[in-house]
Amino acid sequence: MASESFDPTRPGATPHLAASVKILIAGGFGVGKTTMVASISEVAPLRTEELITEVSTGIDDLSGVEQKTTTTVALDFGRITIDSELVLYLFGTPGQDRFWFLWDELSRGALGAVVIADTRRLGNSFAAVDFFERRGLPFLVAVNCFDGAPVYTVDEVRDALDLDPHIPTLLCDARDRASSKQVLLELVQHLIERAGRAPVAT
């Protein structure tokens, strides 16, 4: 399933017949959610970023991301066509605690989620992991490899976050389109495998 194999602008293409899947791109403050959506979206991404001002002093924890100057206050939105049968609609969640009330609304209708983790502040990932575990929404963990950040193996991250064995975990670079695409393909594969294991209703 490679997005390059299907060109939605090609004459005769029928993307309107494709299955539409809603995916959340989630995680703590400053982990790279907006960056990932922008790197992979085939349409101009919708962003709701605002400048970080003095008003956030004492409210937003900027430790580890002191150079960050903007923040998402509602959502990011993008779209990626996987092939002629599947289109993913990406919804990036806000990271600050005070905007988490939006997560419940954004998660409605979603089939899966990507939890982006930052090894500089790995503890900030627990809330996102807990959010999806409590709701039974399938997810994977993508460790965004920031320049200069501590380097850990996938197994070390899995142990630190106490992830169940069935939850996929991988390293990525949210700035890189190919890397972001691989994360989404891994999530799609995870969703397919879970659907195959689901009990049949009688």
161-192 pLDDT per residue, tens = 999 999 999 999 999 999 999 999 999 999 99
Q: Rounded CA gap, 167 and 159, in Å?
A: 12
Tokens 């490679």 belong to residue: 2
DSSP three-state, residue 189 = helix
How many Cβ atoms from other residues are within 10 Å of residue 3's Cβ?
20
Q: What is the pLDDT of residue 44?
A: 82
> pTM score, two decimals?
0.76
Assign 193 to helix, strand or coil.
helix
Q: Which residues contact 147 (CB under 8 A, 6 or more apart)?
A: none
CA atoms of 15 and 81, how far apart (whole Å): 8
∠ at Cα 39 (37, 42), nearest 5°? 80
Q: Which residues contact 43 (CB under 8 A, 6 or more apart)?
A: 78, 79
Return the bridge partners of 81, or none: 87
Residue 33: predicted pLDDT: 92
- C-alpha pair distances (Å), 45 with each of 34, 174, 202: 9, 15, 42
Give the DSSP H/E element, type plus range, for residue 49.
strand 49-51
Encoded tokens for 116? 């982006």
183 in Cβ contact with 23 (< 8 Å): no
Q: How far apart are CA 73 and CA 99, in angstroms?
A: 7
Res 193: pLDDT: 92
End-to-end CA distance of the chain: 32
For 76-132, write each residue's pLDDT tens digit. Answer: 889 999 888 999 999 998 866 656 678 888 899 999 999 999 999 999 899 999 999
